[in-house]
Structure 1
């Protein structure tokens, strides 16, 4: 889901090809590409608040330094105007951009590699249809040695396997659609999977939760206590559609994801995502009871009463559609 605040959401560090007017491109393809941009939350990284759409400028803090999302409008000099469709496809699916420039995984090509060629082509058509914006951006602000792009050769060898999504014939069409979005364009693991020391997703803990720029991206597997185990498919769908359900209200980066991306998805796709996530197993992580007279319990109760109860209720019951219930909240 998009702004990656950890080392994985910068879209293509200068993407595209010779700009073409919308009239030269099939309208249906442009519209399909617009929807791919919604699924990928491209605006989350490439549109600065108050700035021109997709003109870049959003700073992304990673454990290795700062990256700035590039201009991906079809401006020839400062944006994406000099790329071919083949260049763009390579960037999305292999992490190697125009003129062989190696991209950082802040542009989540490890997820985008799972997108179909058709969906990538549609996204390319949409980007070409955008109004060109002249906005030069220095994207790579990483310190030495991370600013040397050649290091990505080793990173890719260790952490990246290119290849399109393969449907599971033993699963439903709906489940496979959800898996395709979550693993591919939606790049949910970019924020919700814990990272290795090199900034790669830990495959063994897929969607097991992570902390990014002091924000918790929680476990979104069906784990019963710390994940979505207590949520129904309808709960997950409502949260993605509106940013709220009977358990929780989106805030911080996730609120931006809802605004820019999931709220604009079709109901069918939202349900497919929910069906897939609810099918992912998670560790039980059984709670260890703490005695009521434990000093920490007493202190916590006092802190809660003074600072939280006015909104979330004396017993953590919350207020529907205003303040989430905290008692028994699995996320």
Structure 2
């Protein structure tokens, strides 16, 4: 029984059977390099779009649904009708906020959290000489509308001087900013895709010009437009797929680095730095886990998308070129 030829042997046979000599018409090096560069640019633009969308959702659902309450002299006992009670001003405000309609969570920042907020201005090693006001976060349930003015009047009656800061306005502004960044990133992706189409079309036309005589010959002998366009399109799709894989691989470490930088804004924990070379495998899984799922799916789809763009562009280019033949 004869042994079946191996993959390398079949590949060499396919190369020799290429009557149109597409290897010379569509060079193996130039087109994948161009597609790889376009893939890296598309990956970065899509990363910006995905990040802007995540930040928009977080700002809209987080900051917009939270109110910040400042209670000065938080440890001073409250007075009701001239009588001092056992509750401090901060405890009285916390009790009133817990009974607020639509409140999902009431949290008072502790000393460590206040220190982290003030660290950019006062440094890590600080000792507060003044009594800081109590900072309370009031998180509202989704879809709940809160009258900040009425709440401020009610809390001021319990603890005079209490301030209520509504974050919804800032959340809306940040959301609009993130939406505009998302639109700009999608526009950048569209521009990159358009440039890729132009480059593939130009490369295909150069290949058609290089093999004009053989193409005219087989076309005159009865080869259909679909057959010739299919031969070019399959090779272009393969080269574009290889370039897309290379570009995705090049973009991955850049996206992981950007994800680590943006982790504080997305409420994510950056991956730890490995202590030894044995930790690199675990680190790779951790870094991939830090990437948003939509971004990972998009990164995996770039190579097939590049192949599809290459196939469609080549089909259209070759068919249009063949229609102009005498």
TM-score by length of 2: 0.25
Query: Which of the pair has more CA radius of gyration?
Result: 2
**Which structure has the higher relative contact order (CA within 8 Å, separation 6+)?**
2
Question: Which structure's residues are more often strand, by fraction?
Answer: 2
TM-score by length of 1: 0.25
